[in-house]
Chain A
Amino acid sequence: MKKMMLKPRTETELAEMIAGATGPLAFCGGGTRGFDVAGEALTTSGLSGVELYEPGALTMVARAGTPVAEIEALLAENGQRLAFEPMDHRGLLGTEGVPTIGGVFAANISGPRRIQVGAARDFLLGVRFVDGTGQVVKNGGRVMKNVTGYDLVKLMSGAHGTLGVLSEVSFKVLPRPEVAATVVVQDVDLEVAVQVMSAALGSPFDVTGAAYDPVERRAYVRIEGFAGSVDYRVGRLVADLARFGAVQQVNDSENLWRGIRDVSAFHGNAGDVWRISVKPSDAVELAEQLQAEALQFDWGGGLIWALVPAGTDLRARIAVPGHATLMRAGAETRGRLGQFQPEPAPLAAISAELRAKFDPRGILNTGLMG
C-alpha cells in the first residue's frame, strides 16, 4: 500500500518531523517535479498562505507551500508581479500539481527576464528554514538592503532543499509595466541572432527578453514599460536592428514569451531535455558541439534548452565553460548522469562539507545535488 505523505501544517510540526525522522526524506512543494529522490515523502504544501504584502514597499512574505498561482493573482490585483518570471515546468515535464513559492526559490527558477532584473535568488530577501537536525533558522529579513551577517538566503536559493527545508520566504516584487512589445528579427541564423541579441542587450533600451527560435529562424527582443516609452524604444531598436534582417514589431506578445519561458517547443516531444547556461557568445560553438535534435535559446544566447535522444550524456559533448542540468529524463538516466553539473573538485568538497554541516545525518533530498 502506498504510504501517506508527511504534510506538516506548521513550521514547528515540520521541525519535529525532521528531528524525528529515522531515514531520508524527499521534499516537494507542489510536487511538480515528481520524485526521484529516495526517502519518505514530505510536502510543504500544508504550510500555505501569504503573511504580509506591502505593495508600497514592494515586499511580500509567504509560507513556503503557498501556490505560486495564489501569489501571482494577489500581485496582479495590485498591478505587481514576480519580475524574475519563474517558469511553469508542468508542460515540459509532463507533471501535475500546484507549483509552490518555496519550490521556485529552492530551485532558483527564473525566466527570460532574468537577464535584466536578476534571478529568483536576487529577489529573495529572507528565509526561515529547518535544517537536517530539525533546527529552525532564519536569515535575511524583509527589507531590500541587508548585509547583516552571511547571506544564507542566496545559499538556500538553489540548494533544492539539500541544506534545509524552507518554511517561509520573503521576497521583493515589482510593478507590472503598462505595456510590452516585441521586436522580431526575421530569418536569421544562430550566429546573426546572437549578434542581434547582443546589440539589443548592449543598448540603453532596457531590454527584458532576448530569445531565438532556430526553427522559425527568428530572434525576439522584448521591451516593457510605459506606452510612450515602449514606442520610443521599439522605434530605436527597429531602426538599429534592421541591419541584421527584416524587422517586425509585435504588440501582443504575452503568449510568445510564456512559450519561451516554459519551452513549449519541447512539450510532448520524446527525448531528454537539458538546460545549459553559458556565456552568450559561446552559444554558436556550443550548438555545434551538442548535436541536439532541437534547440531553443534564451538570455541572449546564454540559456540553451536542448532536446536529445533519451540517455544521451550531453555533458560529455560540452567544451565551453558553464553548466548543464538534466531537466527531463528517465530515472535510469538521471541516476547515471546526475541532474546537476558535477562541480570541480575543490568546490564539490566545499558543497559536500556545507551539506554535512546543515544536514549531518544526510537525510535531506539525499544525493540530489551530489
Chain B
Amino acid sequence: MQMPSPNTAILARKAELAAKLSTVLPQDALIQDEAETRAYECDALTAYRCPPMLVVLPRTTQEVSDVLRVCHQMGVPVVPRGAGTSLAGGALPTADCVILGVARMNDVLETDYDNRIIRVQTGRTNLSVSGAVEEEDFFYAPDPSSQLACAIAGNIAMNSGGAHCLKYGVTTNNLMGVTLVMMDGTVVEIGGAHLDAGGLDLLGVICGSEGQLGVVTEATLRILRKPEGARPVLIGYDSNEVAGACVSDIIKAGVLPVAIEFMDRPCIEACEAFAKAGYPMCEALLIIEVEGSPEEIDHQLGLIIEIARSHNPVELREAQDADEAGRIWLGRKSAFGAMGQINDYMCLDGTIPVTELPYVLRRIGELSKQYGLGVANVFHAGDGNMHPLILFDANKPGDLELCEDMGAEILKLCVEVGGCLTGEHGVGVEKRDLMLHQYSPEDLEAQLKVKDVFDPQWLLNPAKVFPLSVTEGRRAVELIK
C-alpha cells in the first residue's frame, strides 16, 4: 500500500502552524510532542502506521472551525478522527497532516422522547448514546460490534452497520441531521428534527463520505423504544448451501428477524475452542433473533423453526431463557477475539446478493487452498454482508502480502457476483486501489466532483477512498501561500 510522500514545504512550516493553532485552541488541545502524536499513528488497521505532524483535540464546533480555517489558509491536509477503530485505515495519518480528533466532544446536547431524537456531539461513543436514553427504555439502533469504543463521528463517516441492521437499518437510516464544518471553516447545519431534506439530500452524501467532505461535530439521531424482548434460535446444517437456502426461505416467508448471523465450520471451531459456547460441530451455523412480546417471539420462532426443519438441520436449539440466549450469542460475539487468539487475521467486508452465498463460499474455499491460508467466515446473512477472516502469520515474511492478495481476490469475487467491496467498514486506504474493479473511471469521476464542491483544494483526508492515480491531479494543487 502506497501513501503520497509528505509535502516538505508543509513540514517546514510546522512551527508556524503550531503557533497559529495555539492562538485558537486551549493549550491542552494541541499536541506537538512526537511521543504523544505517536498514539495517533494508526487506527484498527494496525498494519499501516505513520505519526501525524500535529494532533488537535478541540472541544467545540467553534474550535473545529478555527482549526480548519488555519489549516485551510496554510494548505495543510487534515485527517478527522473519532475513536480510531476503523478497520479500513480511514483515520491513518500522513506525516504532513493534522489529526483532528473529536474524542473530547462527547456531550449529549438534547434528548427528546416525544420526538424520538437525541442530539450529541460526535465524539460520543456509540454505546453511550444508547446509554443516555436507556433509563427511558429507548436505544440508538445501529450497533457495530465495536460500539463500546467507536464514536458517532466515525459511524457517520463510515455509515456503519451492526448485527441488528436487518430490521433497523444502518447509520444513514438513523441519522437526521448534522452540524458540519467545511474545510474553509464554514459551519453548516443540515437536516434536524424534521424528516427528509427540503432540497438536495446532502445529509445522505455526507454520511459515508469517510471524513472527506467536512468534519461532523454534532448529530441528531433517531432513537427508538426498546422492544419488549428478544430471543435467538441456533440452527446447524451440514452444508453451506442448505443454510443459505434456509435463510432465503425465511425471508420469503415474510418473517423479518432482527438478525441472521452465519458461521462456517472453521469459525465455529475457533469460537468453540475460545468461548466454549457449546456449539455443534457442523458445516454451517445460523443464529436468528426475533423481537417482541413472549407470545410474538414464540410465534415468529415457530415459523422459523418450521422452515428450518424442512431443510433437515443437524441441530436446532431454541433459547429457553436469557441465560441460554446469552450462550447462543457468546460464540458469535467472541468470533473476532477467538480468531485473534489463534492467528493474525484480516477481516474483509464485501457484500454479495444473498442468492450467491453458496457459490461465493465455495470459491473462497478454493482460494483458501490455492493461497494456502485458512479462512473463517462469519457474517450477516440476511443482508449478504460477508466477513471472511483470512488467517496469516504476521511474523512470517511475505504472509501479509499473500493475505492481502487473497483478500483482493475475494473482494473482486464479491463484485463479480453483483455485490460490492465493502458493506460497512468503508474503503479507507485498504480497498482504495480496488475501486476501479467496482466502478468505471467515469463513475468515480462523479464522486470526485462531489469532493471538488465541498473541499476544492482536496485537503480533507485526501489520500483515502479513491486510487491515488485517479486523484493525483486534484491533490497536486499548489496551496502553500
Contacts and interface: CB of A to CB of B under 8 A. Distances in A.
Given A155-B450, A346-B186, A149 B439 contact: yes
Of the listed residues B113, B196, B295, B299, the one surrounded by the most CB atoms of chain A closer than 10 A to its CB is: B196
Given A203-B225, A346-B186, A229 B292 contact: yes
Contact of A302 (B194, B439, B447): B194
Contacts of A139: 439, 443, 446-447
B384 A144 contact: yes
A350 B454 contact: yes
Contact of B199 (A137, A277, A341): A341
A147 B466 CA distance: 13
B203 to A, nearest CB: 8
Given A119-B195, A347-B188, A143 B352 contact: yes
B435 A148 contact: yes
A158 B196 contact: yes
B67 interface: no
Of the listed residues B116, B254, B293, B444, the one surrounded by the most CB atoms of chain A closer than 10 A to its CB is: B254
Given A174-B256, A303-B195, A57 B423 contact: no
A351 B383 contact: no
B55 interface: no
Given A121-B201, A143-B420, A149-B444, A204 B115 contact: no
Contacts of A148: 420-422, 427, 431, 435, 438-439
Interface in B409-447: 418-427, 431, 435, 438-440, 442-444, 446-447
B195 A114 contact: yes
Of the listed residues A78, A198, A226, the one surrounded by the most CB atoms of chain B closer than 10 A to its CB is: A226
B351 A146 contact: yes
Contacts of B197: 158, 323
Contact of B196 (A149, A163, A277, A321): A277
B202 interface: yes
B16 interface: no
A233 to B, nearest CB: 8
B156 to A, nearest CB: 11
Of the listed residues B197, B385, B447, the one surrounded by the most CB atoms of chain A closer than 10 A to its CB is: B197
B230 to A, nearest CB: 11
Nearest to B170: A145
B453 interface: yes
B192 interface: yes
A357 B288 CA distance: 46
B202 A204 contact: no
A358 B442 CA distance: 12
B447 A56 contact: no
A118 B194 contact: no
B314 to A, nearest CB: 22
A202 B133 CA distance: 12
- Sorting the interface of chain A by its residue count into under 10, 10 to 19, 20 to 34 or 35 or more gives 35 or more
Nearest to A149: B447
Nearest to B158: A147
B354 interface: yes
Given A142-B353, A143-B420, A277-B195, A150 B209 contact: yes
B337 interface: no
Interface residues of B, number: 92
A31 to B, nearest CB: 23
Contacts of B112: 281
Nearest to A299: B195
Contacts of A118: 169, 173
B300 interface: yes
B89 interface: no
Interface stretch (B97-105, B244-252, B269-277): B244-252
A143 B194 contact: no
Contact of A357 (B296, B300, B452): B452
Nearest to B193: A279
Given A135-B442, A151-B159, A281 B201 contact: no
Contacts of B452: 357
A46 B208 CA distance: 34
B134 interface: no
B321 interface: no
Contacts of B440: 138
Interface string B227-263: 1100000000000000000001101111110000000
Interface in B178-223: 182, 186, 188-190, 192-205, 207-209
Given A346-B188, A347-B188, A358 B446 contact: yes
A135 to B, nearest CB: 6
Nearest to A325: B198
Contact of B295 (A58, A150, A232, A354): A232
Contacts of B450: 150, 152, 155, 354, 357
B449 interface: yes
B172 interface: yes
A370 interface: yes
B293 A232 contact: yes
A147 B194 contact: no
B460 to A, nearest CB: 13
A20 interface: no
B161 A145 contact: yes
Interface in A70-126: 78-79, 108, 110, 114-115, 118-119, 121-122
A204 B227 contact: yes
Contact of A147 (B195, B254, B300, B422): B422
Contacts of B161: 145
B194 A152 contact: no
A131 interface: yes
Nearest to B434: A148
Contacts of A358: 446, 449
Contact of A138 (B190, B201, B423, B443): B443
Contacts of B444: 149
A202 B113 contact: yes
Given A151-B172, A175-B254, A357-B452, A340 B199 contact: yes
B420 A152 contact: no
Nearest to A227: B299
Contacts of B293: 229, 232
Interface string B340-351: 000000000001
A287 to B, nearest CB: 15
Contacts of B138: 202
Contact of B296 (A149, A154, A232, A347): A232
Given A122-B169, A346-B186, A145 B225 contact: no
A197 to B, nearest CB: 10
A141 B256 contact: no
Contact of B204 (A149, A155, A324): A155
A13 interface: no
Given A149-B465, A149-B466, 14 more contacts: A54-B355, A56-B252, A58-B251, A121-B196, A145-B380, A147-B424, A147-B427, A151-B208, A154-B203, A157-B204, A174-B256, A277-B194, A279-B194, A299-B195
Nearest first, the 8 A-B pairs at minimum CB distance are A154-B204, A323-B198, A56-B248, A175-B254, A145-B423, A279-B193, A341-B198, A144-B383
Interface of A: 54-59, 78-79, 108, 110, 114-115, 118-119, 121-122, 131, 135-139, 141-155, 157-159, 162-163, 174-178, 198, 201-204, 226, 228-229, 232, 277-281, 299, 302-303, 321-325, 340-341, 343-344, 346-348, 350-351, 353-354, 357-358, 369-370
27 contacts: A55-B251, A56-B249, A58-B251, A138-B443, A145-B161, A145-B165, A145-B380, A148-B435, A149-B438, A150-B205, A150-B451, A151-B207, A154-B203, A155-B202, A155-B204, A158-B197, A158-B201, A159-B200, A163-B200, A175-B256, A226-B296, A229-B292, A277-B195, A347-B199, A347-B202, A354-B453, A357-B452
